[in-house]
Amino acid sequence: MDRFLLMTCFVRAVETGSFSAAGRQLGLGQPNVSRYVAALEDHLQTRLLHRSTRKLSLTPEGERYYAEVRRILDAVSESESTLRDNVSPSGLLRVACPTALAHTFVMPAVPAFLEAYPGVSLDLHISDSYINLVEEGAELAIRIGHLDDSALRSRRIGLFERVCVASQRYMSRKGRPTTPSDLAHHDCVVYTLLSSGTSWYFRHQAIEVSGRFRVNSPEAVQAAVDAGLGIGYGPRWLFADGLASGELEVILADDNPTPVPIQILYVANRLLPQRAVAFMDFIARAFAGIPALNVAATRKH
């Protein structure tokens, strides 16, 4: 039996969530798709999907196989497209992005991107959890910080400033820290998914912080700082409204760390689809017009 057909049926079943939807898309019908996926499992001697009356879900083996097969199908599609003239980007693009960056800057650009590329569908995975591009099915990941994985390549699309902030309400009760070391005696709003854990980095040192409120959402950090629950640490743009109104104030400004890069990452040895290149170019242009993401061009450090 055609292995390529079996793999295509499996991938479409995963991405649509059902054999029926995959059958409609492929013009094969639900019974054939179900039979072809079963044949693929029989060939591999491995269960790839958990089946229930309500949905399909991947087994651990299925997750690994899906990531590999998705790359194979993408490579075939991309190779074919290079033989055609004036072929527009098309297909499903998977992009992982940190929460605050996605909501503040990426989502506003999505409508224009989809309008510019009508053949592309975008699956935006918004999470501050680490996404392994080598093992998972995403083509691109937008990440904050420096690249430390030799299996990946990067394109820098922004540079922003991290600041330490406090509300006037908090400082009227607890006082104003004058050095980073003073933070040990203050309530700090702890963002639990920060890559450095409970360490806040400043220009010449890292400080372990603690506080009565911990949360896994950047927006909740911003809200807690606004409410006077403690001192916050994060991108200046996260606290922009409070800083503009005067309710918040940047503290320890002389100890600000060096600016932090924003990068789009992709797997070094993987053929990059046209849709991924188009997205990188589009987001790079969008970010280039945002002063908060280009601090080196507007502020000396």
pLDDT band at 81; cut points 50, 70, 90: low
pTM score: 0.70
121-130, 180-189, 245-254: segment of lowest average pLDDT: 121-130
Predicted confidence (pLDDT) at residue 297 exceeds the cutoff of 60: no
Q: What is the mean pLDDT of residues 127-145?
A: 77
**3-state secondary structure string, 197-220?**
CCEEECCCCEEECCCCCEECCHHH
Higher pLDDT, 253 or 88: 253
pLDDT band at 79; cut points 50, 70, 90: low
- Give just the sign of the alpha carbon dihedral 265, 270, 272, 273: negative
Report the pLDDT value the prediction gives residue 219, as an integer from 0 to 100: 92
CATH topology of domain 3-81: Arc Repressor Mutant, subunit A (1.10.10)
Amino acid found at 192: T
Average pLDDT, the chain: 87
Q: Annotate 130-166 with b (16+ C-beta within 10 A) or e (fewer).
A: ebebeebbbbbbbbbeeeeeeebbbeebbbbbbbbbb
pLDDT band at 84; cut points 50, 70, 90: low
Report the pLDDT value the prediction gives residue 200, as an integer from 0 to 100: 94
Predicted confidence (pLDDT) at residue 16 exceeds the cutoff of 50: yes
pLDDT band at 187; cut points 50, 70, 90: very high
The Cα diameter of the chain in Å comes to: 74
pLDDT band at 220; cut points 50, 70, 90: very high
- Give just the sign of the alpha carbon dihedral 250, 231, 170, 247: positive
CATH topology of domain 162-255: D-Maltodextrin-Binding Protein; domain 2 (3.40.190)
Residue range 245-296, pLDDT digits in tens:
999 999 999 998 889 899 999 887 667 788 999 999 999 999 999 999 998 7
* Dihedral, 18, 22, 24, 25 alpha carbons, nearest 10: 140
Predicted confidence (pLDDT) at residue 105 exceeds the cutoff of 80: yes
- Give just the sign of the alpha carbon dihedral 145, 278, 23, 34: negative
Measured CA to CA, the distance from residue 130 to residue 233 in angstroms comes to 20
Report the pLDDT value the prediction gives residue 301, as an integer from 0 to 100: 42
Measured CA to CA, the distance from residue 227 to residue 221 in angstroms comes to 10
Q: Are 293 and 299 in contact (CB under 8 A)?
A: no
pLDDT band at 300; cut points 50, 70, 90: very low
How far lies 223's CA from each of 165, 237, 241, 246, in Å?
12, 13, 11, 15
How far lies 155's CA from each of 66, 98, 162, 264, 291, in Å?
26, 16, 20, 5, 18
Beta bridge mates, 121: 92
Residue range 35-50, pLDDT digits in tens:
999 999 999 999 999 8
Domain borders along the chain are 3-81, 91-151+260-298, 162-255
88-92, 135-139, 263-267: segment of lowest average pLDDT: 135-139
Predicted confidence (pLDDT) at residue 1 exceeds the cutoff of 70: no
* Dihedral, 127, 133, 136, 142 alpha carbons, nearest 10: 30
Predicted confidence (pLDDT) at residue 131 exceeds the cutoff of 80: no
Predicted confidence (pLDDT) at residue 134 exceeds the cutoff of 80: no
CATH topology of domain 91-151+260-298: D-Maltodextrin-Binding Protein; domain 2 (3.40.190)
Higher pLDDT, 142 or 89: 142
Predicted confidence (pLDDT) at residue 118 exceeds the cutoff of 70: yes
